[in-house]
C-alpha cells in the first residue's frame, strides 16, 4: 500500500464556485487544489452530508474502499512541569507544585514494557517545557529506550518543546532552522524517530497570542517541522479548534500546513531556495532523504479545568446572536496573515470581546472541519479521527467524513483527560468501530505501513462473544481498564 500522496501540486481554479461539482470532482481525483476562499466557502455553505460525501470520496481515492487503520501506542508524558501558560491547558504544573513530576527513566521503561507486551509499536512521548532538564537527560533517555526496546518507534517532542530545547541548550547555528536541526540531529542520533504535531493549536497570530502564552509562534512551529523533514524524519500536524478563533483561522491553519508540506515534498530544491533566505543548507547526500507530514489530526478544545474554559460561551447572552462572532471579525482583519499585528482593541479591526468568548465545537462542527481538512489538504496522506476527544461513535462517524485512521488504542492519556475528556478503548472495540463503518480494520505503524489486516475469524473484535460486556469505557471511572488493554483475550 502506498503511504504518500502524489508529489505533483494540483492546480488552483480561483474563478470557480467552491460548490462547483466539476471542481470538487477534480479535487477528489487530486487534480485541483482548493483556494483558501473556496475552503472557507465550503465550510460555510456546503450541506453537512454533502460535505461528508465529498470528503469520503477523496479519502477512498487515496486509501481505497477496504482498509482503515489504527495504531497501538502509548502516551507517555514524562513531565508536567512547564514554563508556558497556555490558557487551554489543565495539565501543566509549576516546578514547586505538590503534584509536579518528572518520570524516572525506570518508570518510562516499565510503561514501554507494558506496551510491548500487548503488541504496541510506538510511544508518543511529550511533556511540559521543563527548564530543569538538560540535553543529557533526553539523550540518555532516548539511548536507553533504543537499547532496551529496539523495536519501539519513538514519536516524541512536539515543536514547542523543541523550541524550548533551543532556548535551554544554546545550540550552535545562525538561524532558528540551523539550531533546531542541531538539536534534532542529536536527538535523532540518540534514538528519536519522528515528531508529533502537538502545540499547533491555531496558527493565526491574534489567536495564538491570546491562548498560547509562552508558546512558540507559527513560524517557529513550522520551522521545527521543516528542520525535522530536512533530516528525513516524518511528522504529523494538528489543529485544536473550537475556542476563540474564527472559521477562516481554521482554513488559514490548514493552508500553512499545506504550504510547508509542498516545501517538504519539494525536498532539496526547496531547501536550497530557502537557504538563500537564510534557512540553512544541506549536503548533497542529505538532500536525497526528505521527510514530510504523514498525517493531520484536528480536535476541538476541551474546556474542563482550564482557564480558557471559564470564558463565557458565545451566545449565552441571546443578544449576541445578532452580531458576528468576535473571532470571525478578527480573522477577517487578519486577512489570511497579511495583517499579523491586527489589534482587536482597535474598534476598526475587531471587537473588544475577542478572546473573552469561546465558540465551542460540537459533533457536526467537528465533522465539518475534519471533512474540509480531507478536501483541502491534498498533499497529506492520512486524516485522523479524534475519538479521544469526540467519543468513539463520533470518531466512527469521522470515517465517513474523510478520516482514514482511527488513531490509537489509548493505553494511557494524561493531557486531554486533565481537561475532562475520559474515553478509553481497547483494540477489540477500535476494530469493531472500524468494521461497523464498513471497513476492514488494520493495525499500522508510524509510517502508515500496514502490519496486520484483521479480515479473519481471529480478529480482535471477532473474538468477542458478548459485546454487552465489552463497551467503550470511561477512563478513570473504570481505572483497571487503563492498563488492562489486551489483544485477543477479550472474552
Residues forming the site for ligand SF4 (CB under 6 A): 82, 84-86, 89, 91-92, 128-129, 160, 215
Output the smallest distance, CB 128 to ligand SF4, in A: 4
Cα-to-chain-centroid distance, residue 190: 24
As a 3-state breakdown, the chain gives helix, strand, coil percent values, each rounded to 5, of 45, 15, 40
Output the smallest distance, CB 17 to ligand SF4, in A: 39
Nearer CB in complex with ligand SF4: 162/371? 162
Contact 297, 386 (CB under 8 A): yes
Nearer CB in complex with ligand SF4: 82/176? 82
Task: Tell me how far apart the alpha carbons of residues 57 and 402 are, in angstroms, rounded to a whole number.
Answer: 8
Output the smallest distance, CB 129 to ligand SF4, in A: 5
Nearer CB in complex with ligand SF4: 221/376? 221
Output the smallest distance, CB 444 to ligand SF4, in A: 27
Strands 212-213 and 85-86: antiparallel
Task: Tell me how far apart the alpha carbons of residues 399 and 430 are, in angstroms, rounded to a whole number.
Answer: 12
Output the smallest distance, CB 82 to ligand SF4, in A: 3
Output the smallest distance, CB 213 to ligand SF4, in A: 8
Task: Tell me how far apart the alpha carbons of residues 12 and 29 are, in angstroms, rounded to a whole number.
Answer: 13
Strands 212-213 and 440-444: unpaired
Output the smallest distance, CB 471 to ligand SF4, in A: 30
Nearer CB in complex with ligand SF4: 78/149? 78
Nearer CB in complex with ligand SF4: 239/434? 239
Element (H or E) spanning 381, and its range?
A: none
Task: Tell me how far apart the alpha carbons of residues 491 and 317 are, in angstroms, rounded to a whole number.
Answer: 51
Nearer CB in complex with ligand SF4: 86/248? 86
Output the smallest distance, CB 92 to ligand SF4, in A: 4
Mind giving me the DSSP string for 36-94?
Answer: HHHHHHHHHHS-HHHHHHHHHHHHHHHH-SSEEEEEEEEEEE-B-B-S-EETT-SS-B-
Nearer CB in complex with ligand SF4: 73/164? 164
Selection from 416, 354, 359 nearest residue 210 by Cα: 354
Sign of CA dihedral 353, 358, 364, 365: positive
Nearer CB in complex with ligand SF4: 217/320? 217
Amino acid at each position: 500500500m502506498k503511504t504518500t500522496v502524489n508529489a505533483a501540486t494540483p492546480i488552483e481554479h480561483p474563478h470557480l464556485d467552491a460548490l462547483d461539482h466539476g471542481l470538487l470532482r477534480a479535487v477528489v481525483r487530486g487534480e485541483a487544489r482548493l483556494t483558501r476562499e473556496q475552503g472557507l466557502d465550503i465550510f460555510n455553505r456546503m450541506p453537512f452530508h454533502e460535505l461528508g460525501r465529498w470528503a469520503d470520496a477523496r479519502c477512498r481515492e487515496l486509501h481505497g474502499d477496504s482498509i482503515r487503520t489504527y495504531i497501538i501506542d502509548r502516551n507517555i508524558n514524562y513531565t508536567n512541569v512547564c514554563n508556558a501558560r497556555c490558557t487551554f491547558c489543565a495539565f501543566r504544573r509549576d516546578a514547586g507544585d505538590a503534584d509536579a513530576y518528572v518520570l524516572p527513566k525506570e518508570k518510562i521503561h516499565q510503561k514501554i514494557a507494558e506496551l510491548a507486551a500487548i503488541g504496541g509499536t510506538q510511544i508518543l512521548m511529550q511533556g511540559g517545557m521543563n527548564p530543569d532538564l538538560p540535553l543529557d537527560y533526553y539523550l540518555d533517555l532516548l539511548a536507553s529506550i533504543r537499547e532496551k526496546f529496539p523495536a519501539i518507534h519513538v514519536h516524541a517532542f512536539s515543536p514547542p518543546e523543541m523550541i524550548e530545547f533551543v532556548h535551554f541548550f544554546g545550540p550552535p547555528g545562525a538561524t532558528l532552522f540551523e539550531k533546531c536541526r542541531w538539536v534534532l540531529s542529536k536527538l535523532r542520533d540518540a534514538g528519536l524517530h519522528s515528531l508529533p504535531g502537538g502545540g499547533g493549536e491555531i496558527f493565526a497570530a491574534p489567536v495564538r497570542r491570546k491562548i498560547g502564552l509562552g508558546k512558540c509562534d507559527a513560524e517557529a512551529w513550522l520551522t521545527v517541522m521543516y528542520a525535522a523533514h530536512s533530516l528525513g524524519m516524518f511528522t504529523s500536524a494538528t489543529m485544536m479548534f473550537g475556542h476563540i478563533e474564527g472559521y477562516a483561522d481554521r482554513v488559514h491553519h490548514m493552508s500553512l500546513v499545506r504550504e510547508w508540506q509542498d516545501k517538504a515534498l519539494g525536498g532539496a530544491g526547496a531547501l536550497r531556495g530557502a537557504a538563500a533566505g537564510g534557512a540553512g543548507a544541506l549536503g548533497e547526500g542529505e538532500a536525497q532523504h526528505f521527510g514530510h507530514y504523514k498525517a493531520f489530526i484536528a480536535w476541538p478544545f476541551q474546556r474542563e479545568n482550564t482557564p480558557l474554559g471559564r470564558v463565557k460561551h458565545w451566545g449565552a447572552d441571546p443578544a449576541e446572536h445578532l452580531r458576528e462572532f468576535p473571532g470571525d471579525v478578527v480573522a477577517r482583519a487578519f486577512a489570511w496573515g497579511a495583517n499579523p499585528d491586527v489589534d482587536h482593541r482597535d474598534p476598526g479591526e475587531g471587537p473588544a470581546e475577542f478572546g473573552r468568548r469561546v465558540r465551542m465545537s460540537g459533533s457536526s462542527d467537528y465533522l465539518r472541519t475534519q471533512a474540509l481538512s480531507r478536501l483541502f489538504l491534498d498533499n497529506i496522506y492520512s486524516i485522523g479521527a479524534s475519538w479521544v476527544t469526540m467519543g468513539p461513535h463520533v470518531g466512527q462517524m469521522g470515517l465517513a467524513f474523510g478520516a482514514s485512521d482511527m488513531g490509537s488504542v489509548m493505553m494511557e492519556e494524561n493531557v486531554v483527560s486533565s481537561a475532562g475528556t475520559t474515553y478509553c478503548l481497547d483494540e477489540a472495540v477500535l476494530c469493531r468501530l472500524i468494521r461497523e463503518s464498513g471497513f476492514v480494520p488494520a493495525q499500522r505503524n508510524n509510517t502508515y505501513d500496514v502490519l496486520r489486516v484483521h479480515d479473519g475469524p481471529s480478529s480482535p473484535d471477532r473474538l468477542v462473544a458478548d459485546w454487552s460486556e465489552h463497551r467503550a469505557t470511561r477512563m478513570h471511572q473504570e481505572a483497571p481498564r487503563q492498563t488492562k488493554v489486551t489483544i485477543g483475550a477479550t472474552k
